[in-house]
Amino acid sequence: MGANVKYRIGKSRAFQGLVIVLAFSCIIPLFAILFFIIKAGITKINWHFLISIPKPVGETGGGIANALLGTCIIIVVAAIIAIPVGIMCGIYLSENKKSKLAYWSRLCVDILQGVPSIVMGIVAYFWLVKPLGGFSALSGSVALAIMMLPIVIRSTEETLKLLPDSLKEAAFALGMPFHRVILKVIVPCGISGILSGVILSVARVAGETAPLLFTAFGNPYLSANVLKPMHSLPLLIFNYATSPYNDWHDLAWGASLILLVFVLLLNISTKLITKRWKVQL
């Protein structure tokens, strides 16, 4: 073996080592964040933290009940808006692969996926906050629903596209009308893919702060009225993290841990669903 060949093999090995080191060093920030947030947040969480509302500056204690409830309500309302629309649109796109309207529609879904979240906040402000005359949880839900749509639509479309045509043809041959074929045969067959898309979209918007800044706005008290301002976990984290008070930082660490665990669990559950049913997203 000549020196040249040895040099080339060495170079190849060195590159392989470099790739491995670089690839695995990306894990460090994620684990650093997990470690730090668990360390800082775990001591703050107790029953009292979950069921009481924040105390004014200077008093210790207080909890994040208002933000927990707010996050749940805002996400549920957003999901109620986004899921039916998203699934229907996904069905439309998978049923009409070639039509002109479907082409433009697909393009618009792509565009929606890339819209910066802060822009969604501005738009929801002008569509709902201004006409309704005040900040409201509903406007936040609508902003989040629009952000959920592309994910639900994409996953529905991709899942349904994978189903064999023979399935649909068999149902048609039995004389089933179109809507029954879709709702009773096609959708149940693709339910796992659709479901994981829905969970993924919830996970994505659960941590969104920017669209809520000028819509749900935040509220220091417990509120369940969707037409009034409402607090949410990401908003609370943002407000308290950027405040100068240590008590508030503590609340924010606890809230961060809860939000992070919630979002990661949702993401991992979509992984399990897709793995179990072998869907490709």
Binding to other proteins (CB under 8 A): which residues in 235-274?
237-238, 241-242, 252-253, 256, 259-260, 263-264, 267-268, 271
- For other proteins, which residue of 62, 69, 95, 191 counts as binding (CB under 8 A)? 95
- CA 229: distance to chain centroid? 21
Window 123 to 152, contacts with other proteins (CB under 8 A): 123, 125-127, 146, 149
| 136: phi then psi, degrees, rounded to nearest 5 | -150, 155
CB 101 to other proteins: min, Å: 6
- For other proteins, which residue of 3, 27, 60, 166 counts as binding (CB under 8 A)? 27
Q: Report the distance separating Cα 181 and Cα 168, nearest Å.
A: 7
CB 279 to other proteins: min, Å: 15
Neighbouring residues of 83: CB distance < 8 A, sequence distance ≥ 6: 148, 152, 198
H helix and E strand count, the chain: 15, 0
Q: Report the distance separating Cα 33 and Cα 256, nearest Å.
A: 11
192 contacts other proteins (rule: CB under 8 A):
no
Asked if 120 and 147 touch (Cβ cutoff 8 Å), the reply is yes
Asked if 192 and 215 touch (Cβ cutoff 8 Å), the reply is no
- Please identify, using beta-carbon distances, which residue of 132 and 224 lies nearer to other proteins: 132
x/- track of binding to other proteins for residues 70-89 (CB under 8 A): ---------------x--xx
**Options 47-55, 74-82, 161-169, 234-242: segment touching other proteins (CB under 8 A):** 234-242
CB 253 to other proteins: min, Å: 8
CB 252 to other proteins: min, Å: 6
Neighbouring residues of 108: CB distance < 8 A, sequence distance ≥ 6: none
- Please identify, using beta-carbon distances, which residue of 225 and 242 lies nearer to other proteins: 242
CA distances from 63 to 38, 75, 247, 253 (A): 17, 20, 11, 11
Asked if 128 and 139 touch (Cβ cutoff 8 Å), the reply is yes
220 contacts other proteins (rule: CB under 8 A):
no
- Please identify, using beta-carbon distances, which residue of 37 and 163 lies nearer to other proteins: 37
- For other proteins, which residue of 20, 42, 76, 162 counts as binding (CB under 8 A)? 20
- Please identify, using beta-carbon distances, which residue of 52 and 96 lies nearer to other proteins: 96
End-to-end CA distance of the chain: give it in Å, rounded.
Answer: 48
Window 31 to 70, contacts with other proteins (CB under 8 A): 32-33, 36-37, 40
- Please identify, using beta-carbon distances, which residue of 49 and 217 lies nearer to other proteins: 217
CA distances from 200 to 91, 154, 191, 211 (A): 18, 11, 14, 18
173 contacts other proteins (rule: CB under 8 A):
no
